[in-house]
Amino acid sequence: MRDLGVGFRYLLKGQRWVARHGKQYGFGLLPGLITLVLYVAALLVLGLWGADFVGWATPFADDWSSPWLGLFRGLLTALLFALGLLLSVITFTAVTLLIGQPFYESLSEKVDRDVSPDGTAPESDLPLWRELWISGRDSLRIVVRALLWAVLLFALGFVPFLGQTVVPVIGFMVTGFFLTEELAAVALQRRGVELRARLALLRGRKTLVWGFGTPLGLAFLVPFVAVFLMPGAVAGATLMARDLLGEETREDGGAETPEAPPRPSPSIGRNGH
């Protein structure tokens, strides 16, 4: 259980790091703001026309008497919006990271150089288009996994007592795990660690992952909070990635220091070894 506290401390350390590096924080806000506008627009569309969609999708209920027709379609409309909200929380990080790939890659590299004993950071030897392709492909795979969990938990939510107690807790833990994977992928992908190897690393330290990702997932439920926490979350996930890989980290990292010129360093290959 000690890892729960360690994971949460990495989340706080990341927020402190961006607080000391205002320029990096400012650039890191832009992708989140763009994603937020897109998601708010999508949720508004769902809120305005969700009832019409439910009516179109349930023609078999047109002849139902009142109040059953209204109750049935009202419940489905509320469930549809709740599912859309859940999916927005699950996918927000993936979409933001994809839009802001160059921003967050730069931020993560600077964190690595700041806390590395020799002032260096692992660098990817792939072109930007290839990095974007890998990031988008892996994000899609993670989103599919998250959607499968979301559908399962959504169905279990109708089970009396279990659906109101255990299922929400499991839901936040699952959300926290996938959020952490997406955020840590920025640093781990730069080191050549593929998706399967990343998942294996995270599963080996589940309590660390939950300590980092679950509080973040809860915070992301508050409107606009995700935008302001994203840069620090990427910084904290970079620090956690170093821990997962056993890399040495300076405890006094985080103060403004002159940037050292990039230099190649040993990294895990694309096959995860």
Q: What local confidence, expressed as pLDDT, does residue 243 receive?
A: 92
* Chain segment 75-115, per-residue pLDDT in tens: 888 888 877 877 777 778 778 888 888 888 889 999 999 99
Is the link from the previous residue into 67 a cis peptide, with omega within 30 of 0? yes
Residue 51, pLDDT above cutoff 70: yes
Query: For 223, left (φ over 0), alpha (ψ -120 to 50), or beta?
Result: beta
Percentages (nearest 5) of helix, strand, coil residues in the chain: 75, 0, 25
Can you give the pLDDT at residue 223? 65
Domain ranges of the chain: 2-29+101-244
DSSP state of 162: G
Q: Could you report the per-residue pLDDT of 160-218, keeping only the tens digit for each?
A: 787 778 888 888 898 889 889 989 998 998 898 889 999 999 999 999 999 999 999 88
Please give the backbone phi and psi of residue 97, each rounded to the nearest 5 degrees, phi first.
Answer: -65, -35
In Å, how far are 91, 117, 131, 198, 238 from 253, measured between CA atoms?
A: 31, 9, 27, 25, 12
Dihedral of CA 205/207/213/217: which sign? Answer: positive
| Residue 270: predicted pLDDT | 43
Predicted pLDDT at 234: 93
Per-residue pLDDT averaged across 120-129, rounded? 77
Burial class (CB in 10 A: 0-12, 13-18, 19+), 17: buried
Is the pLDDT at 148 greater than 70? The verdict is yes
pLDDT of the residue at 263: 40
Mean pLDDT value across residues 30-57? 87
Nearest CA-CA partner of 149 in 128, 105, 179: 179
So what's the pLDDT on residue 249? 83
- What pTM did the predictor assign? 0.75
pLDDT at 118 over 80: yes
Q: How far apart are CA 125 and CA 259, in angstroms?
A: 20
Q: CA 147 from chain center: how many Å?
A: 14
Which of 41-45, 133-137, 222-226 shows the highest mean pLDDT? 41-45
Q: Sign of dihedral through CA atoms 261, 123, 111, 253?
A: negative
Residue type, 216: L
Tell me the average pLDDT of the chain: 82
pLDDT, position 214:
92
Compute the average pLDDT of residues 50-54.
Answer: 85
Residue type at position 265: S
pLDDT for res 252? 59
Instruction: Give the span between the Cα atoms of 220 and 144, in whole angstroms.
Output: 20
CA torsion sign for 229, 230, 231, 236 is positive
The model's pLDDT over 255-267, given as tens digits with 9 standing for 90+, comes to: 444 344 444 443 4
Vertex 259 angle, CA 102 and 17, to 5°:
70
Q: Among 182, 10, 12, 196, which Cα is nearest to 92's? A: 182
pLDDT at 271: 42
Q: Answer whether 135's CB lies under 8 Å from 98's CB.
A: yes
Average pLDDT over residues 246-254: 73
